[in-house]
Structure 1
Amino acid sequence: MASTAGRRLLPVGLRLQQACTPLTRRNPAPLRFYSVDASAKAVALTDFQRKKIENCFDFYDINNDGILRFDEDFETALKAYIKLNGWTEDSKQYVQYYRRWVAFWNNLYAGKMFRKDGKGDQQITREEFHSMWTHALMNRTDINKAPRWVRDLIPNTYHAIDTDGDNTIKLKDYEKFFEAFGRNNSAADIFNKLDINGDGMVSRTEWDIHMQDFFISEDETRPGNHLWGYLQ
């Protein structure tokens, strides 16, 4: 079996400039305005936003140590995801998919480093995760006014879940994504709610809407609130 050492893409650090890949160069998410009282200059997340951000962090934190790391969390999930798909480390699918997950992680890490007080330690603590999203979501009415790393994160997350690269997320993709991160419950039920038009897949348009709702909406009925599992 060919070694992956020579082709491995390291997480961000010296590679921050690679955070924007060809996969991210798409049109902005469909514009949605929310009727909220919060000023665009507000810096504190709402209670509901904090709850959603906390749920997202817990989803990614596989070993529950309160710190996100590429090798201990994302790469562990990636290896599980590769195994679920029956790929080998020298397969074309593996190489292509690894790149997508690196781009996914790079966007998150770029969010930390976008804050000038971020330390280049290749990890994101729970406090840093809250801080970077507090800064990124100052504008509560338009996700397209968020920093570039947020706008790139939306398609990169989509491509990280899209197993076969056909630009759609199907139920099997979403279930495997949840299973890889050790979250084996509720994926199918959530997926059926995310599939707005009932065609058996979540399109990029649907995904963009749900991601906007996750980050901005205060409407607790939106299915996008539960992208990373039902809120407790």
Structure 2
Amino acid sequence: MVKMALSVLRNSLKLGRNVQKIAMLKNVAENAKIEAVKASTGIVCTQNSCLLSRKLQNFNITRGIATGLIELQRHHERKYQSSSESDSDLEEWIGKRGNSDFWRRKMHTFHAILDLNKDGVISYDDFKLLADGFVNLGHLSDKHTKEFYQVIQSLWEKQFGEISEYNLVSVEKFLDNMHHVLNDKQLVRRAHSFLPYLFKAVDKDRSGEITVEEFKLFFRVLGLKDEDAILAFRAIDSNGDGKISSKEFVKHGRDFFVTEDEDKISKYFWGPLTDH
């Protein structure tokens, strides 16, 4: 009887040790599983809880990818802003514009504005004197004044050649030159680079918007009438709020040179079209 009791006790002790071993092995297996999950998912555990988080390396990689995507998006936005100023359908019509009577009439009109002494030709002096008229309004900062003159000089040299009293541009030469500009991808994108400075020059309060009174200043410098300024302003101010933004001003001023669509309101931008 005593032997039987001792045998049962020994078996019980063995069973208890086996249960402990099984429990220990189970814990080891569970811990190994948790470590594997932690390694793959970034689980960080404390004595009380486990939190799911990205490992620093993976986070840096992810952040780098995200930053790259943001920069790529910004690049495309900058590219769009630049290319949008030369029309989304530029590829379709480049090399095919500048042959209509309407477009030639507009170029005649602009040549007449630049021809300050009305002798039928324009020189760099005419170009610069017109620029002086906007600078003399007194609304451009010193920085913008310097930039404006640099833009004017660069435009003349790129479009008409050397700065010389003998370099005179007739109407036909002007038309030929503008035709070339219109059908050159790079030149047509820079052709309106002077327009933001004209806007700043007449934006007296530097509000970023101009009223009809400020638009009159623009026409006066061009040698045009106030009543023509009012008509042009009303046409360009399409939403009728009595203001024209810098973006609208530049867009319509540029469209005057590049579009042959007679329905575009940009045809009023530089005053009444001349007859030729």
**What TM-score do you get using the length of structure 1 for normalisation?**
0.64
In the alignment, structure 1 residue 175 sits paired with structure 2 residue 229: no
Q: In 2, distance between residues paired with 1:104 and 1:221?
A: 30
- Specify the alignment match of 1:22 in structure 2: none
Q: Is the 8 A contact 1:107 1:149 kept in 2?
A: no
1:104: how far off? 5.2
Identity among equivalent positions (%) equals 23
- Specify the alignment match of 1:119 in structure 2: 162
1:213: how far off? 2.8
The alignment partner of 2:178 has SS state of helix
Q: Which amino acid is the alignment partner of residue 51 of structure 1?
A: R
Q: In 2, distance between residues paired with 1:71 and 1:197?
A: 38
In the alignment, structure 1 residue 75 sits paired with structure 2 residue 129: yes
1:199: how far off? 2.1
Which stretches in structure 1 are left out of the alignment for 5+ residues?
1-26
In the alignment, structure 1 residue 230 sits paired with structure 2 residue 272: yes
Give matches, 1:91-170, under 5 Å: 95=142, 98-99=145-146, 101-103=148-150, 105-113=152-160, 118-121=161-164, 125-126=169-170, 127-138=172-183, 146-170=187-211
Which stretches in structure 2 are left out of the alignment for 5+ residues?
1-80
Q: In 2, distance between residues paired with 1:80 and 1:145?
A: 26
Q: Deviations over 1:76-125 (max 9, x none)?
A: 6734873xx5x5xxxx8574664365245235314425xxxx33326551
1:190: how far off? 0.5
In the alignment, structure 1 residue 215 sits paired with structure 2 residue 257: yes
- What do you get for the CA RMSD once the two structures are aligned? 3.6
Q: How many residues align?
A: 190
Q: Deviations over 1:46-70 (max 9, x none)?
A: 2211111110111122211223345
Q: Is the 8 A contact 1:111 1:149 kept in 2?
A: no
1:160: how far off? 4.1
Q: Which amino acid is the alignment partner of residue 105 of structure 1?
A: I
The structure-2 alpha-carbon separation of the partners of 1:33 and 1:42, relative to structure 1 and needing over 3 Å to count, comes to same
- Specify the alignment match of 1:55 in structure 2: 109
Q: Deviations over 1:12-59 (max 9, x none)?
A: xxxxxxxxxxxxxxx435564569xx8533475322111111101111
The structure-2 alpha-carbon separation of the partners of 1:170 and 1:100, relative to structure 1 and needing over 3 Å to count, comes to farther
In the alignment, structure 1 residue 204 sits paired with structure 2 residue 246: yes
- Specify the alignment match of 1:14 in structure 2: none
Q: Which amino acid is the alignment partner of residue 121 of structure 2?
A: I
Q: In 2, distance between residues paired with 1:34 and 1:80?
A: 33
- Specify the alignment match of 1:11 in structure 2: none
Q: Is the 8 A contact 2:140 2:201 kept in 1?
A: no
The structure-2 alpha-carbon separation of the partners of 1:171 and 1:160, relative to structure 1 and needing over 3 Å to count, comes to same
Structure number, greater radius of gyration:
2
The structure-2 alpha-carbon separation of the partners of 1:107 and 1:168, relative to structure 1 and needing over 3 Å to count, comes to farther
Q: In 1, distance between residues paired with 2:175 and 2:103?
A: 10
Question: Which structure 1 residue ranges, 4+ long, deviate > 6 Å from structure 2?
Answer: none
**What TM-score do you get using the length of structure 2 for normalisation?**
0.55
The alignment partner of 1:152 has SS state of coil
- Specify the alignment match of 1:19 in structure 2: none
